[in-house]
Every structure is written in C-alpha cells, then in structure tokens.
Structure 1
Amino acid sequence: MSRTILPGSTIGILGGGQLGRMMALKAREMGYRIAVLEPKSGSPCGQVADHEVVSGYDDLDGARELADLSDVITYEFENITHETAKWLTENAYMPQGGELLRITQDRYVEKTTIQKSDLQVAPFEAVDSKQDLYYAIKKIGLPSVLKTRTGGYDGKGQWVLRNQEAVDSLSFPGVPCILESWVPFQKELSVIVTRSVMGETTTFPVGENLHVNNILHQTIVPARVNDTVKNAASEIGKQLANDLNLVGTLAVELFLKDNELYVNELAPRPHNSGHYTMEACETSQFEQHIRAICGLPLGSTKQVQPVVMGNLLGQHVSPLMESVSELGSAKLHLYGKDEAKHNRKMGHVNFLASSTDDAIKRMTQWKLWQ
C-alpha cells in the first residue's frame, strides 16, 4: 500500500556511493533525515547521512538495523542481494520492491523481459561455455559482444569479438554469459523515467552519450537527434515504467541505428547520464526520485538551458586541482571518494550555455580531458 512519507522522516539508502550521496543531499534540502547501509564507514553517502549502518549487503542483521531506522527504504545500485531485498520488501517499507532488481541483475533476464514489451533489442543468446559460444556465433554472427550475465559495469565483464581469431583466443570467463550481436549504432541515447508510488510518471529530456574506453565521458542535452526519435525514446521509457510496475527511477540506455531504437540496458536507479538534470532541469533526477518514493507530487522536468555533462575520473583529479581557475561558471560536483584511482568516477562537471555547441566548446577548451 502506498504511503506519503513527510519531510522530517528518515529515508534509508542501500549503498553508500555517489548516487546515494546525491540522493541524500537533495533529500536533506527537502527536510528528510538519512540512514545508509554500506560495508565501509565514511562512504560518499555516509559522509552526509545522519546514521551509518556498516554492514554487508547480504547481512540481514544490517538490513534489520536499517529498517528500524527508516520510514522508507530505497537503493542506489542494483547489486543488492535478492535475500536482502526480499526481506526488506516483506518487513519494511521499500516501495520499489525487489522484482525489478531481480530482472536487472541478470542481463539475459533483462533482455527477455524487454522483449515481452515488444521492444527491440540486439539478437542475443545465453552462453555458459566456450562450446555454447561457438554455437551462438553461428546464429548471431560477428562482430558480437560477450557479457557476463551478472555484475560488470563501465565495460568490465565484456569482450568485443570482432573476428573468429578473437573468438578462438578468448579465455572463457567460466561464469554464465550472454552473447549479443554488435549494433552499428549512429548514436547512444538515454532517457530517465520516474514513476511515483501514486503512478504519476515523468521523463527527462533525452540525452546523447559519448563513451571513452567503455566509460561514459559526456552527455549532451538536448540530444542531437530529431523530435521523432526523442519522442520515441521517451515513449519507450514510459512503456517500460508501466510494464515493469516501476516505482522510483529507471534509466533506459538506447542505440540509435538508421532511425530505429534498440534498448541496450536498464538501470533501476538514478543514472550517470542523468546528472545533467542537477542544474539544467527544473527538477533533478535525485529530487524526482525522492518525491517518487515518498509519495509526493512529481516536479517539472522541463530543461531550462542546454548542457553538457563531463565525467571526472581518477586521472582527472590532479589536473582539475591545478586548473580549477578555469572552471568559470561550470558546476563542479565531487563525490568525496578517498582515493583517485585510474578510471574511477570521482565527480562530474555540468557546462551550461546558450546552445549545446557552446557547451561542448566550453568543455573542449578546458584541457582537463585531453
């Protein structure tokens, strides 16, 4: 049964990373208190929380403690164990439930679920061995992409197989995988959709994403595609939200190929490609998520200014500190992580301008990413 969780109540967050931090900061602005469950103390979210539960995601004692502290519970990443999600759904108020987590934790299950909504995905096959891989390639062809069914992010747990030599030389990872046909896309797009416990649904403007070494580098909004494509992407997001009985936030990553959209991946939470909303929209993805799970009316997602979001990785931190005087009016967000490892997401910068071309130019002129 849906409830309205009023300001002054405590929101529990499973996961202490940067998404939880940005949720928490927005929730605190709205008058909520924050409890976070994370295996390590002093996490990015823990730094801004009222209560830290230092516990593993598979520890039911930790889940009980978080439930005791919280009036509503949400999560900031999808790798929560099924047992923990099930217990919290049954014994606390976690309106998102655990079913969407179950679906998005397994790429094969996710793809088959998307197909049930009559949406287009790249051809795929389940692969559990090197022998299975050879059989799947006969059906799907090359080039193709081998991915582990569970875990993996930012290109981890993925192998692009461009030719038969790459297939023959591959050391099979020894875990259940999925083989997907390579989609020769013209653009990568994403849409963030939010659906409240009351069933109210909104989408944010469609983003155009550029990746470097399989890690998101830049999100450009408005996306440089025609309105027909934008509208189709938004409709895909709304259809999935309804079909999956979404509560909270869903990020839908898409490939655009010859004016056709293929659903690539889903993330049942706020998403890196939605960080531009923090300054460029009337309501950010983080505020909208808090409104959704607390039963408040959803805010306007209208874009107020063109924007480019640039990710800051570990290798960018020192150059950032040396050239911070070039920041100008760009909006800097750092996540409070304790170690700037190579390719680790440490923050992001939003560049707002009168046009996307001007915003891209502003980011390009800052030699931080070169």
Structure 2
Amino acid sequence: MILPGATIGMIGGGQLGRMFVIAAKYLGYNVLVLEPGENSPAGQVADEQIVAAYDAPEALATFAQRCDVITTEFENIPASVLETLSESTPVRPSAAALSKTQDRIVEKDFIRSCGLLPVPYGAIRTRSEVALAIDAIKFPAILKTARFGYDGKGQITVNTPDEVVEAYESHRSVDCVLEQRVDLDCEISVVLSRNENGDTQCFPVSENVHVDGILFQSIVPARVDPDIARAAQVAAKRIATKLDYVGVLAVEFFVTKKAELLVNEIAPRTHNSGHFTIDACVTSQFEQQVRTVCNLPFGDTRLLTPVVMTNLLGDIWGDTQPDWSKVFNSAASKLHLYGKAEARDGRKMGHFCTLADNVDDAITEATKIFEQLSES
C-alpha cells in the first residue's frame, strides 16, 4: 500500500483532476499536478502544479522523481509520456491501456476482441476506404474523427454517401469512423475500479441523457431492466480485465429498443456520469481512484439514495454567474463548481446533484432548478 503522506502525481489539470485532488487531500495525501495551463482547476487545490507541457523532458523527470505513484484524468496523453514515467515510478493506468482508447478505430476493434458488440461502423483511414465504410452501415449515420473527439466534437451527422465524402473532407481527411445511428431506447454507463490483483468493483449503473452531444443529466438508479444493468457491469469488467487495467474506468453503452446492449465508448478515467457518487454513494469515484492507484482496499460503492446529476455548462452564465440560491434553496441538492475563470458555451463549469426518495422526484426537482438557473 502507498499510504497517506505519500505524493500522488496527477497528469491533467481539469475538473476530474480537481475532484481527485480533493478526495486525495481528505485522505491525507500530497498531490502534484502536471498541467500546461496556469491556475488550472486541479492546480488550485493541489499542493503544487508544475506548469509545463505533458512531454517536456525536464518537467517529466522532476515529476517522476517527486511522486510515489502517478495517475491521469484524461486519455489523450501521448503513450510515450506514460512509458517514460513508468521507468521510475508506478503509473496507473498504464500506457498500454490508454493507447487502446485513444483512437476510435483501435477501440472498436478492441471491443470486438472482448466478444462484445460496438455500434455498427466502418473505418476510414484513406479516401479509398470511404466506400467500404458505407457498405458496413445503414443510414442515417455519424462520421466521427478517430482521435480527440469528445462532448460531440469532431462529429457530423450524414445521411447519404455524398455527405460522407463531404464530411470526411471537412475533417481534413484525418482517420475517422462512420457509425450507424441505432434505434435507441436509452444510454447507460458503468464506472468501475480494478486493482493490481485483478479484482473489480462496480458503481451503480447510470442512465444518461445527452443534449447536443454533451451529457445533461445522469439518473441513478438507471431505469432499465435489471438484467440489462447486470450485463453492462459484466461487459465493463471484461473490458477492464482484457486491458489489464488499474484505476477507475468508465464504459458507455447504448440500449436499443430491441434490448440490445452495444458498447459506445471506453473512458480510461473517472467520468462525468460518475459524479453522482460524490453525494449519493458511500465512496466516490474519485476516492476510489485514490484507493486503487495506491493499492488500498476498495471503498463501498453502495448507492445511499436515488440521485440525478445535472451538468452546468457555460451557456447559462451570461454576463454574470447564475443565481446559485436556486440550488441552495433545494436542501437535498449539492452544488459543485470547477474553478474555471472563463465560461464558454458548451464548457463544463460545474454540476449539481439532487437527492430524493425516488428517481421521479429527483428528476422533477433537478429539472426545476436547472430551468430557474437558465432564467436567472
């Protein structure tokens, strides 16, 4: 075990890193953040932030020397950086695990290798592969860049072969995947942790509602057939095992109207849809990440109360901050702000969790609060 008093290195300074740092500080750890942007959300609450590029050699050497273990808050870190750090310091998750989730084509091939089903898709690495990709799907579809796409970025809806060609060229002919739109019933996700011994622990399944490609609300417990929820947890565990993953991992699924369970994406980190765990579970996903990377026993993942997590984007800011009294007036709602200086449309600025005796009441209250914030 790596016990309190040790120093954990966090690569990345965003909100996931911030909430990790807070959990680590509660447990008595020191945290050193590596992040190129000054005054980052994670750096604000960490013991120290090294302001440098993720691949800066001198910064990496200092970072590795000062940390007892290193973890991450996002997946688009060059694998070579993690490989370099791992030569002297434990890095969890590994470069090998992250590399399979950084490219949608590689990720979908990996999902198939696990005996699981992704959304029907075709890979496009060159212009000559466009026709083959079109043959692999049915329209309507979505063309997505293979790398660096999240929250709806790098995605274009297409309905004809000509639109696929146009969209591919608009992406400057970078590697892409053409994904078939499915007859969707709902979207769910599983957040789990896996330790070095291969043991896994799942959090309750979350039902996710998206608006314009960005998560709006997570509803827990998910309103799906219990067999579907169990199947999703089993599938997520299989993925983590096949990756030989150490840390916290999220897997997003589509549930079709035919009750098919399709793997959408793998996120090798804590996840937006797991934020409910901070207020509604015995152990949060962020404390669980601390425990897992430090070889501590898992925390209890029991859900204590139904909950709805609602994202707060920069869209509702306007010239001033929203009227937060709308959240505080709801005694069973908990506000979390990320310390970002500039609000922009689509930028995640915070979230709030609304607890209730049942999911319907939580949805009603959370929706009312969000509408009031949007009007303020």
**TM-score band (shorter)?**
over 0.9
Structure 2 residue aligned with 1:154: 151
1:192 and 2:191 are equivalent in the alignment: yes
Which runs of 5 or more structure 2 residues have no equivalent in the other structure? none
Shift in CA distance, 369/189, structure 1 to aligned 2, threshold 3 Å: farther
Contact 1:196–1:291 (CA<8 Å) still a contact in 2? no
Which residue does 2:342 correspond to in 1? 339
Residue 228 of structure 1 corresponds to 227
Deviation at 1:196, TM superposition (A): 1.6
Tell me how far apart the structure 2 counterparts of residues 357 and 253 of structure 1 sit (CA, whole Å). Answer: 23
Match of 1:66 among 63, 66, 74: 63
Tell me if the contact between 1:197 and 1:294 (Cα under 8 Å) persists in the aligned partners: no
**For 1:98-247, what aligned pairs fall within 5 Å after superposition?**
98-164=95-161, 166-167=163-164, 169-170=166-167, 171-173=169-171, 174-247=173-246
State whether residues 143 and 179 of structure 2, in contact with CA within 8 Å, keep that contact through their aligned partners in structure 1: yes
Q: TM-score, normalised by structure 2?
A: 0.94
**Match in the other structure for 1:290:** 290
Question: What is the CA deviation profile of residues 115-167 of structure 1, one whole-angstrom value per residue up to 9, with x for unaligned ones?
Answer: 11100112222212444223311332311221111111111111111234533
- Amino-acid identity (%): 46
When structure 1 is superposed on structure 2, of 86-95 and 226-235 the one drifting more is 86-95
TM-score (norm. length: structure 1): 0.95
Whether 1:18 and 2:15 are equivalent positions in the alignment is yes
Q: How does 1:5-44 map to 2 (within 5 A)?
A: 5-44=2-41
Could you tell me how far 1:96 is from its partner in structure 2?
2.0
Q: 1:49 aligns with which of 46, 53, 75?
A: 46
1:77 corresponds in structure 2 to: 74
- Work out the number of aligned pairs and report it: 367
The secondary structure found in structure 1 opposite 2:41 is coil
SS in 2 for 1:342: coil
- CA deviations on 1:24-78 (whole Å, 9 max, x unpaired) are 0000000000100000121000001112111111222221111111111000001
- After alignment, is 151-160 or 177-186 more displaced? 177-186
| Alignment CA distance shift 1:70-1:178 (3 Å) | same
CA distance in 2, matches of 1:167, 1:96: 35
The aligned counterpart of 1:307 is 307
Are residues 322 and 55 of structure 1, via their aligned partners in 2, closer, same or farther at CA, if it must alter by over 3 Å?
closer
Query: What is the CA–CA distance in structure 2 between the aligned matches of 1:80 and 1:222, rounded to whole Å?
Result: 32
Tell me the amino acid that sits aligned with residue 367 of structure 2. Answer: T
Between 153-162 and 168-177, the greater mean CA deviation after superposition: 168-177
Q: Render the CA deviation track for 1:299-344: whole Å, top value 9, x for unaligned.
A: 1110000000000001223599443222122100000011001110
In structure 1, the residue matched to 2:92 is 95
* 1:355 and 2:343 aligned: no
Counterpart of 1:104 in 2: which secondary structure? Answer: coil
CA deviation after TM superposition for structure 1 residue 201, in Å: 1.1
Query: Could you say what secondary structure the match of 2:316 adopts?
Result: helix
The one-letter amino acid of 1:346's match is M
The amino acid of 1:237's aligned partner reads: A
**Separation in 2, partners of 1:139, 1:293:** 40
Alpha-carbon spacing, 1:319–1:231, altered in 2? closer, same or farther (3 Å): farther
- 17-26 vs 77-86, which moves further: 77-86
Kept after mapping to 2: 8 A contact 1:53/1:65:
no
Deviates more, 1:277-286 or 1:160-169: 160-169
Q: Does structure 1 retain, via aligned residues, the 8 Å contact 2:94–2:245?
A: no
Distance in 2 (CA, whole Å) between partners of 1:183 and 1:320 is 40
Measured in 1, the distance between the counterparts of 2:138 and 2:70 equals: 44
| Aligned-partner Cα distance in 1 for 2:196–2:291 | 9
Distance 1:19 1:294 in 2: 18
The 1:369/1:261 distance shift into structure 2, 3 A limit, reads farther
**Range with greater deviation from structure 2 (151-160 or 316-325):** 316-325
How many Å apart are 1:224 and its aligned residue?
0.6
Distance in 1 (alpha carbons) for counterparts of 2:220 and 2:304:
11
Paired letter, 2:269: R
Query: Are the counterparts in 1 of residues 130 and 165 from structure 2 also a CA contact under 8 Å?
Result: no
**One-letter amino acid of the counterpart of residue 206, structure 2:** G
